[in-house]
Structure 1
Amino acid sequence: MAAEEKPGVKSSSSILPCFLFVELVIMAGTVLLAYYFEYTDTFPVHIQGFFCYDKTFSKPYPGPEDASKIPPVLIYSLVTVIPTLTILVGELCVFFSRTEGTREKTIVTADCCYFNPLLRRIVRFLGVYAFGLFTTTIFANAGQVVTGNQTPHFLSACRPNYTALGCQSTIQYITERRACTGNPLTVMTARKSFPSKDAALSVYAAIYTVMYVTLVFKTKGTRLTKPTISLTLLCLAMLVGVVRVAEYRNHWADVLAGFFTGGSIAVFLVTCVINNFQQLQSSIAPQRPQRPESMLGMPMVTLPCVESPLEKLSGPQHPTLSSSSTLYNTYVQSF
């Protein structure tokens, strides 16, 4: 009760249990599922067949993922560092630029734990972002495992023995699981093309950050700051997809599917989970004027106000009427 009487402080007995026993459990489960998809063979990849001498999958082998112009390590670093720094800088600027009346209240639970509004907003936005990042990874890996679509360089990595397989024409379809003679790890990676995980992660990070910059930053005196930042982030995300196609690591359909996956998750989390980065401060709605009640306690019907003719006469009169009344008074006084 003492915490509720202080200005800018409100008590809550559910924030700490929900954070410890609900949100952390969900987050841990999401991280473990992403780990099993990425680094273990718990979910086997669907083995698809291929046509003999198929030109769609006969592009040259571009090398391992680390040899790419935009390696996964660089992508993971950018999608982690850029949104984190943007949210930290944005929240610090917003917190110190607001007045005391517009800030969120400090939450106290169990009369011992105080949650600062600045720290609470940073943890909220970064926590939701991290959850979406692992969710995007799960969606992309699940799509790759279920479909098993081959990359454009699949036959170069597979190195099938066409003579042993009896390939006589390009319309012959090979379904044997042991058709490939290349490195098993390279072949397994070449079967994970749809959707593009790198494209999904880059677009997710870009759209989440762009929506944060657009909805939170208040730039006065310039109209080009927020569009420049937003378009730069979106162009970097698009560049990742272009490089993936140019290096024959993904098809255009794989990149577009990755863009759609990452963008949809980012828009859903921003609009439906954290309510467009708005404050959690309930505003008091203006009360409507109450109707007068009768003696029976029922609201009376308010009728429109009609102007009375007597009220018109009580005001300034017409000049013709005033002159006629003056003549009448003069005539009466003459008698």
Structure 2
Amino acid sequence: MGAVLAVLGVDEPVSYEPPSKKILCNIYGVQISLAHITTLLISVIVLTLTILLEYGTIPAVQQGFYCGDPQYSHKYKGETVTPEILGVTAVLVPLFIIISTELLAYQSFRKINPYTVVFYMQECIVGVALVLLLTSITKVIVGEHRPHFFDTCQPDTAVNCTAGQFVETFTCTSEYSQIFKVDSSLSFFSGHSSISWFIAIYLCYIIHVRTVTVNAGYIIKPFLISLVLTWSLLCSLSRITDRRHHWWDVLTGSLFGICSALYFAVVVYEKMKKNDPLVRSYKLTEEIPLSIHHRSAL
């Protein structure tokens, strides 16, 4: 390689040790670095911006509609998976799965490395925050009406218009809150779908690489994977049955969440490979041996 670089007139890069991570404090055995604080601050900024987008503080593009359009004529009947339920489960499900996989790998709570749990949760939170932000930005830019738009917005210009007539400007006159009236035009694409599928695929990767078969048994891995996939299916498909989204909103959100999770899986793997010598000789699709038997074999 050096000869090739010499012919091209390029100096061969000199290897060097990366700078050590600056540790700010130690909380219950978990080292908190400047990188952790920076990640937290960015997450707070992203969350704040997302809230401003979701609650209409930053106005969305107002799209017109065809008078009497049946795809916007459904009645609002509530939500199976509310944003509050999604938010709580989006924290508890990853935490439960990550702790469970570490417990199955080490066969003891005392042997679980808290830093490992924090690392996986941190990556998950960052990923969810970015997915949520991009989803909210897309909602505001597109401004697509929800299936229950006529019911929850009750546009003033739709009262006396002719069926099939295109209405370009309108004002919502329903008795719903201003936040909900703004939300009636934030359909594309589904945030429930993008978030739930990001978490599901991310956790499937964690389950795959951290759950050693000889320790956990052969049924526990597909069982845990089926749990997270079922959860994501419930979160996404309920948006169609509740008439909160069109099917293409759910499909696009699901694909966006899956693609984002695959990217984050590669990022997590690269970080693991740099910090865990047991990972360096393994490919992305293979398990990470964590049991005593595997360690002795290596």
The TM-score range, normalised by the shorter chain, is 0.7 to 0.9
C-alpha change, 1:245 and 1:135, in structure 2 (3 Å) is same
**1:240 aligned onto 2:235:** yes
**Identity of aligned pairs, percent?**
22
Partner of 1:14: 21
- Matching residue's letter, 1:225: I
Whether the 8 Å contact between 1:144 and 1:194 is mirrored in structure 2 is: yes
- Equivalence map 1:181-260=2 (5 Å): 181-182=173-174, 183=176, 184-220=178-214, 222-260=217-255
Q: Could you tell me which residue of structure 2 aligns to residue 120 of structure 1? A: 115
* CA–CA distance in structure 2, aligned partners of residues 128 and 30 of structure 1: 11
Structure 2 residue aligned with 1:174, among 138, 143, 167? 167
In the alignment, structure 1 segments of 5+ residues that lack a partner are: 1-10, 98-102, 104-116, 286-335
Size of the alignment, in residue pairs? Answer: 250
The answer as to whether partners of 2:157 and 2:167 remain within 8 angstroms in 1 is no
Measure, in 2, the Cα distance between the counterparts of 1:222 and 1:276: 27
Q: Does 1:55 align with 2:70?
A: yes
Query: Matches of 1:265 and 1:94 in 2, distance apart?
Result: 26
TM-score, normalising length from structure 2? 0.74
Tell me the CA shift for residue 41 of structure 1: 4.2
- Normalized against structure 1, the TM-score is what? 0.66
Matched, 1:81 2:71: no
Bigger Rg, which one: 1
**Secondary structure at 1:230's aligned position in 2?**
helix
1:24 is the counterpart of 2:37: yes
How far 1:52 moved relative to its partner? 0.6
Change (3 A) 1:71 1:201: same
Contact 1:95 1:118 (C-alpha < 8 Å) held by counterparts: no
Q: Equivalent of 2:58, from 43, 52, 76?
A: 43
Q: Is the 8 A contact 1:57 1:155 kept in 2?
A: yes
Q: 1:210 to 1:277 in 2, by over 3 A?
A: farther
The answer to whether the 8 A contact 2:75-2:151 is kept is: yes
SS at match of 1:27: helix
Contact preservation (8 Å) 2:194, 2:257: yes
Shift of 1:194: 0.9
Cα RMSD, aligned residues only = 3.0
SS in 2 for 1:212: helix
Q: CA deviation at 1:132?
A: 1.0
Residue identity matched to 1:37? T
Deviation at 1:279, TM superposition (A): 6.8
- SS of 1:83's equivalent in the other structure is helix
Q: Distance in 1 between matches of 2:158 and 2:59?
A: 28
1: CA distance, partners of 2:248 / 2:51: 22
Structure 1 residues 93-104: aligned runs within 5 Å: 93-95=104-106
Deviates more, 1:215-224 or 1:195-204: 215-224
